[in-house]
Each structure stands twice: as structure tokens, then as C-alpha cells.
């Protein structure tokens, strides 16, 4: 079994805390959404603080990082008995640990094909949870905290607390469970209980049962020491029926242990002054020229006209999973009006077929005003953040959201719905356009969305006011270092309040 390398042995005078992250996607190895950004940025920030960090994830198809360090027994019924372990140091004090089990992870996509999840996802992610615990338990210095993320890792606290005796060396390890998105609850039929090696006594109201089915997410919430989510507003919202997706009662019961911490952004990767995807990187003092060059390239890439008139017309950008969460219904309901707003519009994303088709169609009907790119393109995402004048996020709900923070850093003014992390990071300019860093609307309606866009378009021609608005956004500190300090406090609290009893 792999042991920690000598370089990582803590100094005798200051034994650092150690945290093991368990997650299903981590940049730059695998990404479908913001979770991957978070599981890359937060561990690195903790590493800079001297924390000893391990990040455990599946070794999906195509991942060739790491060196083979051993094999691990993973006692899950009906699954391969062992996994290979590959490890790689990725930053100061941060190591990746890849769980290699081709039966489960050597597939073309992370979670499923088309709109269908893989039928064995419960087993794939139970395996990840157990393997991570087995790995952590065998270290010569077991972690102080295991930090599991989203439904895929919901069974981490469950296996740890509900199988007493299995992980004796983790008896002093605290667990933190972070909800990045309550809409994904990790549901499966109840007959999975024995197949996941879980005793039926855990299938209770205070255990994993959710309307007759098993919920991995509920398991994570009920069995961890502390629950977090990715913004204070979302932490409040999910305790209400409107945003709770049926989990409001479960969360309200743990409200004393539920903490919202806004995500940070990777300030190196998303830095307009050093961004290799931009034609002309820029700082706050060169923002106008830098953004104009980027805008020229964006328009070109989308096949929109590059004449002076188009260049001086405001450009609204949007990069998003095309799903209901992101407000696509109230946005697409505006139909052809979108092309008559007095702005150009460029969209990048993938998701529901009906939304993808909407954007393809409207771009075909209005080739001079609307550009659509259906796909996932990291480089184009950077270019849009720089080239757009405004960035649109009309989300129905948004646990945190990262693009509004990238936008602020790039001098691109966000237009957002006041929900979750968007509400916590964007402050409205107010009636005189003289404060704040963006434009916000509250009612979830096409009219309110159009109103906010119109306010932004009316403010845009006043160059002085607009520059001040951009400058305020560019000055904000959304670095991970700030959020990591909050996690450090949270970990100390989790260690102090560690639970020992099984909760059912």
C-alpha cells in the first residue's frame, strides 16, 4: 500500500493539519462544471497555507498522470476486489491520488451517455468512497479531515460512521460534506442498499431513505460532522421549499451545522494580464484596448461582422451549461427580441437539446447579431470573458457560480439574477449607476431579465461611469486564499465537534 513520501513528513515543530478531498472531477484532469474548478483551487490554496492535502478522484479514461504506487483492497459487493493507485504531486503540499478501476472508470464520459446516467453509477461512486476511505485509513498519518463533495461522494461519511471497526485509524478523523448543487441528489432504488454493502438499519428517515429510494446526497448530509455549501445565500435558500428540492426539512434539521462559503477563483488561470488565450493581455489601466482586441477576435470566431459599428456595439457573453438551472427558459422566451436589444450576443454551452436548437436557430436567423457555439471550449471561454462587455447569468438558482467572478476580474460587467452566490458576489449599480459592480434582477421572469439588460445597455454609452464600474469589479478579491481561511476555521470546528455515534 502506498505510503506518504518522505518529502511530505511534517516538520516536528509544526505538524500541519491534513485534509483528504474526495471528488468526482478535478481540473485539469476531468471537468463538466464548476466542481472541477473548486477541487483544483481550494486544495492548492490550503497547500499554500501549509496544510497537507490529498485529492482523491477516479482515474477516468484518458488520465495518464501520476505514477503507480500500489494496490488497494476495496470491499464492495459485486465489484472488482482491488483498485490500483496512481499518485502525483500537483502543487506545494498537494497530491492527487487516482483510483484506477477500469471496470468503472474507463468510459467515454464521466457520468453517463446522452441524458442517461450510467446504470451502475451507485456502484461506481460507492467504490470511489470506499477506496478513498481505505486509502486514507492506511496512511501513516491519517487525515484530520475528510472533505467529500456532492452526491457522488455522499457515501464517504456514511461508510466511515456506519461501519464501526472498519476504519479504526480514522477514529479521530472529522468529515465535511459540501453540496455544490442540491438538484443532483444521487437517487437509486432501495434494493441497492445490500448491493452497496449498507445495512437496512441505515435506510431510515434520518439515514439514506428519500421517498422510498436511496439518496447518496442525503447520506452525506446526515452522516457528516459539518455540511457546507458554496455561498451563504444558497445555504439559506436551500432551507426553504422554493430552493430545497424536497431537502429543506433535512437541511433545516442540520441548520446549526450548515455553513455557506463562497468559492474562490483560480487567480492565476483567470488573470487577464497573463491569459495566454487573449490576443492582448491587459490590466485595469489597459482594459479598454485589451478588451477591444479580444472583442475583435470573438466577433471573428463567431462570424459576426468586425466593422466599427459592430465593434462599438455592446457585446453580451454567456457561457453555461444549457439547463433550466441557468435561466435558459426565461432567456429563450424572449426569442427574436434578443436580436433587437441593441447589443450583439455570443453564447457558448452544451446541454438540453431544445436550448441548443434555440441558439442554433436564432443565430441562423440573425447572423449579424447573435453567435452560438454548441460545445465545450476552455480557450473560447477565456476569450469571451475578455471580449464581452457584459456577461449574462439569469439563473433560476445558483449555488455559487464562477463566471460572474471571472467576469468581474476581466472588466466584464455581470448581469445576474439575485440568487445564491450571484447575489453574494454581485452588487447592483443602484439608480445612479454609481455604486456596485453589476446589474441584478430578482423576479424570475423574462420581463425582469430584459429590464436588467436594458439598464446595462443604457449605462454603457457613458464611458466614464462604465470605466468606474469596470474598475470596481477588477479590484475585487475573489482569490481562493480568502475562502480557504474560512475553510480552515470550519475544519477546526469539524475536528472539535466530530461525531462518533451512528445517526439513524
Q: Which residues bind ligand GLC (CB under 6 A)?
A: 33-35, 38, 180-181, 230, 263, 398-402, 421
Smaller CB separation from ligand GLC, 58 or 421: 421
Please tell me whether residue 33 binds ligand ADP under the rule CB under 6 A.
yes
Smaller CB separation from ligand GLC, 209 or 237: 237
Nearest approach, Cβ of 401 to ligand ADP (angstroms)?
4
Helix or strand run (H / E) with residue 485: helix 480-496
Question: Which single residue brings its beta carbon nearest to ligand ADP?
Answer: 34
Please tell me whether residue 327 binds ligand ADP under the rule CB under 6 A.
no
Please tell me whether residue 111 binds ligand ADP under the rule CB under 6 A.
no
Q: Which of 33, 96, 101, 104 is nearest to 73 (CA)?
A: 101
Residues 35-94 that bind ligand ADP (CB under 6 A): 37
At 270, give phi and psi (nearest 5°).
-105, 70
Smaller CB separation from ligand ADP, 295 or 326: 326
Smaller CB separation from ligand GLC, 425 or 470: 425
Contacts of 221 (CB under 8 A, 6+ apart): 154, 177, 179, 227, 247, 250, 251, 254
Please tell me whether residue 407 binds ligand ADP under the rule CB under 6 A.
no
Please tell me whether residue 384 binds ligand ADP under the rule CB under 6 A.
no
Query: 175 touches which of ligand GLC, ligand ADP, none (CB within 5 to 8 A by kind)?
Result: none
β-bridge mates for residue 317, sequence order: 346, 391
Residues in the chain: 504
β-bridge mates for residue 259, sequence order: 228
Smaller CB separation from ligand GLC, 347 or 400: 400
Nearest approach, Cβ of 271 to ligand GLC (angstroms)?
19
**377 is written with which cell numbers?**
471550449
Among 94, 304, 348, 422, binds ligand ADP (CB under 6 A): 348
Neighbours of 504 (CB within 10 A): 17
Nearest approach, Cβ of 184 to ligand ADP (angstroms)?
10
Nearest approach, Cβ of 486 to ligand ADP (angstroms)?
18
Are 80 and 105 in contact, with CB atoms under 8 Å apart? Answer: no
Helix or strand run (H / E) with residue 423: helix 420-425
323: exposed, middle or buried (C-beta count within 10 Å: 0-12, 13-18, 19+)? Answer: middle
Are 22 and 56 in contact, with CB atoms under 8 Å apart? Answer: yes
Contacts of 462 (CB under 8 A, 6+ apart): 433
Nearest approach, Cβ of 480 to ligand ADP (angstroms)?
14
Beta-strand runs (E) in 74-200: 82-91, 94-100, 112-113, 116-117, 145-149, 174-179, 187-188
Query: 411 touches which of ligand GLC, ligand ADP, none (CB within 5 to 8 A by kind)?
Result: none
Smaller CB separation from ligand GLC, 56 or 370: 56
Q: How many residues bind ligand ADP (CB under 6 A)?
A: 17
Q: What is the 3-state secondary structure (H, E, C) of 160-188?
A: HHHCCCCCHHHCCCEEEEEECCCCCCCEE
Please tell me whether residue 387 binds ligand ADP under the rule CB under 6 A.
no
Nearest approach, Cβ of 117 to ligand GLC (angstroms)?
16
CA pair distance 291, 389, nearest whole angstrom: 8
Smaller CB separation from ligand GLC, 10 or 33: 33
Query: Would strands 209-210 and 213-215 be described as parallel, antiparallel, or unpaired?
Result: antiparallel
Which value, to the nearest 10 degrees, does the dihedral of the CA atoms of residues 438, 442, 444, 448 take? Answer: -70
Query: 348 touches which of ligand GLC, ligand ADP, none (CB within 5 to 8 A by kind)?
Result: ligand ADP
Among 8, 253, 292, 321, binds ligand ADP (CB under 6 A): 321
Distance of CA 491 to the CA centre of its chain: 20
Please tell me whether residue 378 binds ligand ADP under the rule CB under 6 A.
yes
Query: 264 touches which of ligand ADP, ligand GLC, none (CB within 5 to 8 A by kind)?
Result: none
Smaller CB separation from ligand ADP, 193 or 402: 402
Q: Using the structure block, give the residue that is written with the C-alpha cell 437541511.
A: 251
CA pair distance 75, 130, nearest whole angstrom: 8
Nearest approach, Cβ of 294 to ligand ADP (angstroms)?
15
CA pair distance 313, 342, nearest whole angstrom: 7
Nearest approach, Cβ of 36 to ligand ADP (angstroms)?
8
Among 41, 401, 420, 473, binds ligand ADP (CB under 6 A): 401
Query: 66 touches which of ligand ADP, ligand GLC, none (CB within 5 to 8 A by kind)?
Result: none
CA pair distance 10, 341, nearest whole angstrom: 59
Smaller CB separation from ligand GLC, 226 or 299: 226
Question: Which single residue brings its beta carbon nearest to ligand GLC?
Answer: 34
β-bridge mates for residue 344, sequence order: 315
Among 56, 146, 347, 402, binds ligand ADP (CB under 6 A): 402
The residues of the shown chain that bind ligand ADP, judged by CB under 6 A, are 33-34, 37, 319-321, 348-350, 376-378, 381, 400-403
Amino acid at each position: 500500500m502506498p505510503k506518504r513520501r518522505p518529502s511530505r513528513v511534517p516538520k516536528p515543530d509544526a505538524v500541519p493539519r491534513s485534509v483528504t478531498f474526495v471528488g468526482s472531477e478535478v481540473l485539469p484532469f476531468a471537468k463538466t462544471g464548476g466542481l472541477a474548478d473548486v477541487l483544483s483551487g481550494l486544495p492548492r490554496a490550503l497547500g499554500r497555507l501549509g496544510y497537507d492535502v490529498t485529492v482523491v478522484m477516479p482515474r477516468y479514461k484518458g488520465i495518464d498522470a501520476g505514477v503507480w504506487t500500489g494496490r488497494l483492497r476495496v470491499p464492495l459487493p459485486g465489484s472488482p476486489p482491488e483498485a490500483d493507485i496512481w499518485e502525483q504531486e500537483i502543487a506545494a503540499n498537494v497530491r492527487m491520488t487516482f483510483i484506477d478501476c477500469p471496470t468503472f472508470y474507463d468510459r467515454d464520459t464521466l457520468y453517463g451517455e446522452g441524458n442517461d446516467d450510467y446504470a451502475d453509477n451507485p456502484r461506481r461512486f460507492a467504490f470511489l468512497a470506499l477506496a478513498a476511505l481505505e486509502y486514507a485509513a492506511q496512511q501513516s498519518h491519517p487525515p484530520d479531515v475528510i472533505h467529500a463533495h456532492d452526491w457522488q461522494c455522499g457515501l464517504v461519511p456514511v461508510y466511515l460512521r456506519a461501519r464501526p471497526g472498519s476504519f479504526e485509524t480514522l477514529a479521530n478523523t472529522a468529515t465535511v460534506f459540501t453540496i455544490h448543487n442540491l438538484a443532483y441528489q444521487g437517487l437509486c432504488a432501495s434494493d441497492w442498499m445490500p448491493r452497496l454493502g449498507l445495512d437496512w438499519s441505515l435506510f431510515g428517515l434520518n439515514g439514506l431513505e428519500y421517498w422510498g429510494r436511496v439518496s447518496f446526497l442525503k447520506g452525506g448530509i446526515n452522516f457528516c460532522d459539518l455540511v457546507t455549501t458554496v455561498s451563504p445565500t444558497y445555504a439559506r435558500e436551500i432551507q426553504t421549499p422554493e430552493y430545497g428540492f424536497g431537502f429543506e426539512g433535512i437541511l433545516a434539521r442540520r441548520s446549526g451545522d450548515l455553513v455557506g462559503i463562497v468559492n474562490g477563483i483560480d487567480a492565476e488561470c483567470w488573470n487577464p494580464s497573463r491569459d495566454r488565450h487573449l490576443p492582448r493581455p491587459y490590466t485595469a489601466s489597459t482594459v479598454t484596448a485589451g478588451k477591444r482586441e479580444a472583442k475583435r477576435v470573438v466577433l471573428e470566431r463567431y462570424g459576426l461582422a468586425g466593422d466599427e459599428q459592430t465593434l462599438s456595439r455592446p457585446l453580451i457573453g454567456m457561457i453555461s451549461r444549457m439547463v433550466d438551472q441557468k435561466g435558459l427558459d426565461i432567456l429563450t422566451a424572449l426569442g427574436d427580441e434578443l436580436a433587437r436589444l441593441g447589443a450583439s450576443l455570443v453564447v457558448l454551452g452544451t446541454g438540453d437539446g431544445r436550448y441548443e436548437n434555440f441558439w442554433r436557430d436564432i443565430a441562423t436567423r440573425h447572423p449579424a447579431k447573435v453567435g452560438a457555439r454548441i460545445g465545450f471550449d476552455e480557450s473560447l471561454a477565456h476569450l469571451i470573458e475578455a471580449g464581452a462587455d457584459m456577461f449574462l447569468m439569469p439563473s433560476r438558482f445558483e449555488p455559487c457560480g464562477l463566471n460572474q467572478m471571472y467576469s468581474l476580474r476581466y472588466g466584464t460587467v455581470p448581469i445576474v439574477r439575485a440568487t445564491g452566490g450571484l447575489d453574494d458576489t454581485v452588487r447592483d449599480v443602484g439608480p445612479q449607476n454609481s455604486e456596485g459592480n453589476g446589474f441584478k434582477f430578482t423576479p424570475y421572469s423574462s420581463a425582469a431579465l430584459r429590464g436588467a439588460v436594458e439598464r446595462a445597455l443604457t449605462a454603457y454609452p457613458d464611458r466614464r461611469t462604465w470605466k468606474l464600474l469596470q474598475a470596481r469589479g477588477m479590484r475585487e478579491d475573489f482569490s481562493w486564499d480568502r475562502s480557504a481561511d474560512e475553510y480552515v476555521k470550519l475544519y477546526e470546528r469539524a475536528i472539535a465537534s466530530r461525531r462518533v455515534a451512528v445517526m439513524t
